[in-house]
Amino acid sequence: MELKNLKINGKEYSVPNDMTILEACRHVGVYIPTLCWLKDINEIGACRICVVEVKGARSLVASCVYPVSELRPDSEIFTNSPAVIESRKTTLQLILSNHERRCLSCVRSGSCELQTLCNEYGVEDEGKFDGANNTYEIDATATHMVRNNNKCILCRRCSAVCSKIQSVAVIGPNERGFKTHIGCAFEADLGDVACVSCGQCINVCPTGALTERDDTDKVFAALNDPSKHVIVQTAPSIRVALGEEFGMPIGSIVTGKMVAALKRLGFDGVFDTNFSADLTIMEEANEFVERFTKKENLPLITSCSPGWIKYCEHYHPDMIPNLSTCKSPQGMFGASAKTYYAEKMGIDPKDIVVVSVMPCTAKKFEAERVDHSAVKGLPDIDVAITTRELARMIKKCGIMFTALPDEQFDKPFGLGSGAGTIFGATGGVMEAALRTAAIKYLGVELPSIELNQVRGVDGIKEAEFNLGGTVVRVAVASGLANANKLLKMVKSGEKTYDFIEIMACPGGCVNGGGQPIQPASVRNFVDLRAVRAAALYEDDRQLPVRLSHENEDIKAIYDEYFGKPGSHRAHEVLHTGYTVRSRY
């Protein structure tokens, strides 16, 4: 690797020649603030917060887009000179002059990157640039999120992610000059465009301009209603992300404390979505073997990611016959709760409130898909909240999360298998399904139940598995731009697969749109996907049961209620259908 010798703040360093000034400074332990920069996604040098002084340059330069390879051999960089600090402060004052400053009531107060920088640089609440403001109506038309352009700083992170990472591109800059704002084409509302509800734009927004729709009041209302039996399920990836909301290291496994917190909130039953992930595998593995044997509607494509499903309905409706008819684990849990659990507990389904804690804002949209509910007239899921919303509930109720003891999930939907746990990582659904399909349905002993070929955070992964002389060709995609690329290769005949897993969010559910928001200073230099996924795989290794079909609770629900995977009752309760949706 070619190195470049630099002097930064008076000290000499050697740094890789392919870095920008910002990356080089970070490499040697010098932090430069940013607002618009997202590595490999939004490198436009627009906000000018990252400016530094370069000896010999005519003016301050944007460090996020200035390659060190273009610096002269005798260049010196100053990241904290009086001119640099004054420039950053002035830029913050200009941004703040046109910003809705209702920080006390903003959901991002304390995690807002603009607020943090204003505190660090001593920017007063009212500055010398205050004047005329643009005023925008709040857009709450989407099922999953709220847009408040009065808090937007035009960093364009959201539109870059929507276009480059998700291949949806339903938002972008409208108009010019002082009237520039982020919006949809022809100023359409978010609820009227082909948004897939993935929430990736929320995750990268530095302020409170984009937030998830808060449904915590609905949960509190249900908990305070004595006529309701309120139960909650928690998705696999919540256990490796929730701790971040309470200052714990990224990737901390907090399953026991999470359960304890939910019980203290007052839920009548605290259950594990890993259980219904196992249920999904039983149905999906059976479905795959049936289709693979008959060579019908292949490749089979997984249906666990509601953002992907909505994307498929909008952008690839011709692939709907290839989708698995299995409901997602969230949907299967709710359906089982309103049928099997209601009968077992002797409770009228209309008195059961099912709350889901999900890493995904698209789960809010999925919860409102009632066409194939298990009980006619009742939704499978009553309220879906994100990891962030659960954290707010815990804090509001004064529960000291880090001081809680570890407690266990309740029965009959107790702890799921390790196969259910890895659903939260890209490739996890594929791995879990192949574990059960090979052993239970094809009678093949796998050399290892850890299928490393489909692990990792690469956007597209391919593998072939020899299952007792039968070759199964699989592919895994995460991030909808990668999904789009993969499907185009399948349609053109360039690639042929038997089984495909697609997750809407890059890296899978661990990086879902409802997960704890990390600032760009972390997101740009720490692979959140890999760290959280590694924790899920560690959780899988620690669990006593690692195969879905060996879960005793799964065996019980089939013995007592469904009979066998793919049965008539299983199809009525656990399977679903899809809708062709217009893009415009």
CA neighbours within 13 Å on the CB side: how many for 373?
19
Q: How far is CA 373 from the centre of its chain?
A: 25
Rounded CA-CA distance 150/99 in Å is 6
Q: How confident is the model at residue 438 (pLDDT cuts 50, 70, 90)?
A: confident
Rounded CA-CA distance 68/59 in Å is 16
Predicted local distance difference test score (pLDDT) of residue 385: 98
Predicted local distance difference test score (pLDDT) of residue 415: 76
Angle at CA 334, nearest 5°, toward 533 and 285?
60
Which residue has tokens 């659960």?
390
Predicted local distance difference test score (pLDDT) of residue 584: 80
Rounded CA-CA distance 76/69 in Å is 13
Rounded CA-CA distance 472/499 in Å is 8
* Amino acid of residue 390: L
Percent of the chain, pLDDT > 70? 100
Region 298-313 average pLDDT: 96
Region 140-152 average pLDDT: 96
Predicted TM-score (pTM) of the model is: 0.95
Rounded CA-CA distance 155/376 in Å is 46
CATH of 98-212, picked from 3.30.70.20, 3.30.200.20, 3.90.950.10, 3.40.50.2000, is 3.30.70.20
pLDDT, tens digit, for every residue of 361-390?
A: 999 999 999 999 999 999 999 999 999 999
pLDDT, tens digit, for every residue of 191-208?
A: 999 999 999 999 999 999
Tokens of 29: 């332990």
Predicted local distance difference test score (pLDDT) of residue 442: 78
pLDDT, tens digit, for every residue of 442-496?
A: 788 777 778 889 999 999 999 998 887 889 999 999 999 999 999 999 999 999 9
* Amino acid of residue 364: K
- Asked if residue 52 lies in contact with residue 46, where contact means CB atoms within 8 angstroms, the answer is no
Q: Is 377 left (phi over 0), alpha (psi -120 to 50) or beta?
A: left
Rounded CA-CA distance 34/520 in Å is 8
Rounded CA-CA distance 304/274 in Å is 13
Q: Is the pLDDT of residue 125 over 80?
A: no
- The DSSP symbol for 323 reads B
Pairing type for strands 61-62 and 51-54 reads antiparallel
Angle at CA 359, nearest 5°, toward 217 and 250?
115
Burial 186-196 (b: 16+ CB within 10 A, else e): eeeebeebbbb
Helical segments of 167-243, H only: 200-204, 216-223
Q: How confident is the model at residue 583 (pLDDT cuts 50, 70, 90)?
A: confident
173 forms beta bridges with 182
Q: Where are the domains of the chain?
A: 3-80, 98-212, 227-574
271 forms beta bridges with 233
More confident residue, 134 or 265: 265
Residue 531's alpha-carbon distances to 480, 528, 538, in angstroms, are 21, 5, 11
Euclidean distance between the first and the last CA atom of the chain, given in angstroms as a whole number: 48
Predicted local distance difference test score (pLDDT) of residue 447: 77
Q: How confident is the model at residue 326 (pLDDT cuts 50, 70, 90)?
A: very high
pLDDT, tens digit, for every residue of 235-249?
A: 999 999 999 999 999
* Amino acid of residue 412: P
- Asked if residue 516 lies in contact with residue 245, where contact means CB atoms within 8 angstroms, the answer is yes
pLDDT, tens digit, for every residue of 181-192?
A: 999 999 999 999
Predicted local distance difference test score (pLDDT) of residue 62: 97
Q: Compute the mean pLDDT over every residue in the chain, rounded to the nearest whole number.
A: 94
Strand arrangement, sheet containing 470-478: 300-301, 499-503, 470-478, 460-467
Class of the CATH domain delimited by 3-80: alpha beta
Q: What are phi and psi of 355, to 5 degrees?
A: -110, 135
Which residue has tokens 């499903």?
309
Rounded CA-CA distance 391/219 in Å is 13
Pairing type for strands 352-358 and 383-386 reads parallel
Class of the CATH domain delimited by 227-574: alpha beta
Tokens of 356: 């889901």
Q: Is the pLDDT of residue 1 over 80?
A: no
Percent of the chain, pLDDT > 90? 86
- Asked if residue 441 lies in contact with residue 289, where contact means CB atoms within 8 angstroms, the answer is yes
pLDDT, tens digit, for every residue of 532-572?
A: 999 999 999 998 888 888 899 999 999 999 999 999 999 99
Rounded CA-CA distance 466/444 in Å is 9
